């Protein structure tokens, strides 16, 4: 940063914002570039999860009865609770970004810590759900157990369940680590209303992970509950 300032001075320009990299003209342009880059990354993430949703859709069309039956074995209360927790964490994330926009350092740290906490609650519930599946033999593989005539097709459902929720949980773990770093930076006073791009970009990632769950919950837990 001091280099950038020295560089600007050597050319006789006015001293600019310390966070402005020399290859950008303005802070606004720099932020626009970051936002664009983050959304391009999220585009690849959409297609990454899109492939899994595609596999899910096809198998669900072919083996609907097996999917409906296996879906009823998932705990709708835990799944619903996690949905609420994750949407709540998106709210606290949005309020954290807003606090950074309005120069409220303490509030930024508070909302980010709450976001991390809610993320951990989600992962904790996920752990409870996963261990239950190991206990009752709903993990695909040689130890899979089901009395259903659709046992083989149910394994496909649970394979997709573990792949999709597992990759989602991996994104959550990465999000919690990312958010811890951002929280530490916020605590150290690295952000203010003129520069809070990292908070906002981490927020975009966090909201994206929430988006994936918004689809996973009805698709996995609510296939056919009315029978």
Examine residue 222 and tell whether it contacts other proteins (CB under 8 A).
yes
Q: Which of 3, 28, 131, 143 binds other proteins (CB under 8 A)?
A: 28
One of 18, 80, 124, 137 touching other proteins (CB under 8 A): 80
**For the range 80-88, what are the long-range contacts, defined as Cβ-Cβ under 8 Å and sequence gap of 24 or more?**
80/217, 80/221, 81/125, 82/122, 82/125, 82/126, 82/213, 82/217, 83/213, 83/214, 83/217, 85/118, 85/121, 85/122, 85/125, 86/118, 86/122, 86/209, 86/210, 86/213, 87/210, 87/214, 88/118
CB of 105 to other proteins, least distance (A): 16
Shortest spacing between CB 138 and other proteins, in angstroms: 20
Binding-site member from 101, 159, 163, 180 for other proteins (CB under 8 A): 101
For the stretch 74-105, what's the b/e string if a residue is b when 16 or more beta carbons lie within 10 angstroms of its beta carbon? beeeebeebbebbebbbebbebbbbbbbeebb
Residue 204 touches other proteins, criterion: CB under 8 A: yes
Interacting span for other proteins (CB under 8 A) from 4-12, 89-97, 117-125, 172-180: 89-97
Look-up: residue for tokens 């927020």?
203
> Given the rule CB under 8 A, which residues bind other proteins?
28, 31-32, 35-36, 39-40, 42-43, 46-47, 50-51, 53-54, 57-58, 61, 76, 80, 83-84, 87-88, 90-91, 93-95, 98, 101-102, 200, 203-204, 207-208, 210-211, 214-215, 217-219, 222, 224-227
């Amino acid at each position: 940063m001091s280099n950038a300032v020295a560089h600007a001075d050597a050319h006789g320009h006015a001293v600019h914002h310390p966070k402005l990299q020399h290859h950008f003209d303005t802070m606004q342009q720099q932020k626009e570039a970051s936002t664009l880059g983050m959304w391009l990354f999220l585009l690849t993430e959409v297609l990454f999860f899109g492939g899994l949703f595609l596999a899910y859709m096809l198998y669900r069309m072919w083996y609907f009865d097996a999917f409906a039956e296996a879906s009823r074995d998932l705990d709708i209360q835990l799944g619903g609770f996690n949905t609420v927790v994750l949407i709540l964490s998106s709210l606290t994330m949005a309020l954290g970004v807003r606090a950074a926009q309005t120069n409220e350092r303490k509030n930024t740290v508070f909302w980010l810590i709450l976001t991390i906490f809610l993320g951990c609650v989600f992962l904790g519930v996920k752990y409870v759900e996963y261990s239950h599946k190991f206990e009752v033999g709903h993990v695909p593989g040689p130890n899979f157990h089901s009395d259903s005539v659709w046992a083989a097709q149910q394994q496909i459902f649970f394979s997709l369940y573990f792949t999709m929720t597992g990759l989602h949980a991996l994104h959550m773990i990465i999000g919690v680590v990312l958010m811890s770093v951002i929280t530490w930076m916020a605590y150290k006073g690295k952000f203010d209303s003129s520069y809070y791009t990292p908070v906002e970009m981490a927020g975009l990632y966090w909201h994206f992970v929430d988006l994936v769950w918004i689809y996973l919950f009805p698709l996995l837990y609510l296939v056919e509950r009315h029978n």
